[in-house]
Amino acid sequence: MTIRESLRVPALAFGVAVGVLAAPSGCASKSDENLGFELGNGQPQLVAEAGVDACNGDANCVDANAFKPLCVSTSCQAPYGTCPSDTFLCETNFDSDNDNCGACGVSCPRGDGVRNLFNAQWFCQAGACKMVCDAAIGMSDCNADPTDGCETNTQCDANNCGGCGIKCPAGVECRKGSCGCPSGLTACTPGCGNLCNYLPADNNNCGACGNVCPILDPPSYPHMIYGCVDSKCNVLKCDDGYIDCNGKIEDGCEVAFYDDPKNCGACGRACADGQSCAGGKCACAPNEAACPFREDFFCTDLDNDAANCGACGNGCPAIDFLTKPVCKFGHCSTECAPGLADCDGRADNGCETMTSSDPRNCGGCGIQCDLAAGQPCMGGSCVMAPCNPGGPQ
């Protein structure tokens, strides 16, 4: 009788090693469970039955002697350890804990904000504090000196324009990460944050920097003004954001090309079905909305984006560090942060249980490790190790 014709391996009991049941020669089927074995890829395996030295060339059979039974362990396994501030054994992950990075008490730098120091955020990665520059504002670490963080603004620095070591020609400013203004545009106002000007149509710099067109009473035509056209003032033109697509003066500039999906950015430029027009560009999936961002926009799902929940800019607040804000169907809510859970069902103490390290709630509420043996919970799993002939490790 083979294993698949007799008993299956029972589920693992705490403190008891699991092995292959003794049986005559043969090869077990994929339906036979061998709990507690290091199976490698986590998939069901065909295991040679006890007493068989090899699988006789059967590619679908695996030698049972290659597997090691597991026992309850009371020791932490790398990268976990126990620090004085811990509540439970093996609670600290030295690879990623910002307050115990690589060893107990080694804290990554902090600034005025959380982990923000000198335009940088510090994180524990692989047991070492590493600096991440704030790319959103163009900051970089060009001097390779971590003591001053990300000291260089590559959006404005003429010696590091758009990236470290990229120098602009003498006398040319760095504007938004580019040396000078693009062809056809002129820099009328010095400074990194100032826009480049298109002199042929700029009402404040018409034909030349500083030549301001006078403000006249608006015409009777919708969305039209008197302004700068072909470097000349007091010429009838469309107001900003509008365009004349039908050529009829009586309805003025009838198209708002910034958000018209049939004339997105220009007359006749239609967006594809399901797309919207925002900022004169076609974008966003059917379930997304275009929210403004600086001079451009971004697409987001207002039903699920905690920073834009139900409407652009409507951020869901965090109640405390134990919870994280979430957006569900356009309404703000909260849920427990990873590694935490509300096991007592009380609203007053929120997510009170650390399922990542609590041996009474290991990986989930009510999942207990072997408390009598002192088995710790590590990363949401009860610690197991290869059996030692002398007993649990």
The Cα–Cα gap between 386 and 393 comes to 8
Name the 3-class secondary structure at 250. helix
Q: Does the residue 242 lie in any domain?
A: yes
Say whether 291 sits in a helix, a strand or coil: strand
**Per-residue pLDDT in tens (0 to 9) along the chain, 393 residues:** 332 332 223 233 333 333 333 333 333 333 333 333 333 443 333 333 334 444 555 555 555 545 567 787 778 888 999 999 888 888 899 998 989 999 999 988 876 554 456 778 888 989 998 888 876 678 899 998 887 888 899 988 999 998 999 999 988 888 888 888 888 899 898 877 678 899 999 999 999 999 999 988 888 899 999 999 999 999 999 998 899 999 998 999 999 998 898 999 899 998 877 677 878 888 777 678 777 764 456 778 889 898 889 888 888 887 666 777 889 888 888 788 788 888 887 777 778 888 888 899 998 899 998 888 888 898 888 888 777 665 545
* 82 exposure class (CB count in 10 Å sphere: 0-12, 13-18, 19+): middle
- Round to whole Å and give the CA distance between 268 and 32: 66
Q: Is 183 within the bounds of a domain?
A: yes
361 within a domain of the structure (yes/no): no
- Residue 320 has a pLDDT of 66
Q: Which of 222, 239, 256 is the last residue of a domain?
A: 256
Residue 181 identity:
C
Residue 83 confidence (pLDDT): 93
Dihedral Cα 55, 58, 64, 66, nearest 10 deg? 100
- Give domain status of residue 208, yes or no: yes
| pLDDT of the residue at 146 | 80
Residues 183 and 215 in one domain: no
How far is residue 107 from each of residues 238, 318, 349, 354, measured CA to CA in Å?
58, 24, 27, 21
Is residue 192 domain-resident? yes
**How many angstroms separate the CA atoms of 182 and 189, rounded?**
15
Residues 206 and 231 in one domain: yes
Which residue, 256, 276, 300, sits at the end of a domain?
A: 256
Q: Are residues 182 and 223 in the same domain?
A: no
47 in any annotated domain: no
Mark which of 197, 227, 248 sits at the end of a domain. Answer: 197
Flag whether 36 is in a domain: no
Same domain (yes/no): 186, 227: no
Q: Is residue 380 part of a domain?
A: no
- Same-domain status, 230 and 243: yes
Q: Which helix (H) or strand (E) holds 385?
A: strand 384-386
Q: Residue 105: beta bridge partners?
A: none
Total of domains in the chain = 2
What pLDDT does 59 receive? Answer: 54
* Token representation of residue 6: 């007799």
Predicted TM-score (pTM) of this structure: 0.45
By residue range, what is the domain housing residue 243? 200-256
**Other residues' Cβ atoms within 10 Å of the Cβ of residue 243:** 19
Give the type of residue at 349.
Answer: N
> How distant is the alpha carbon of residue 197 from its chain centre?
36
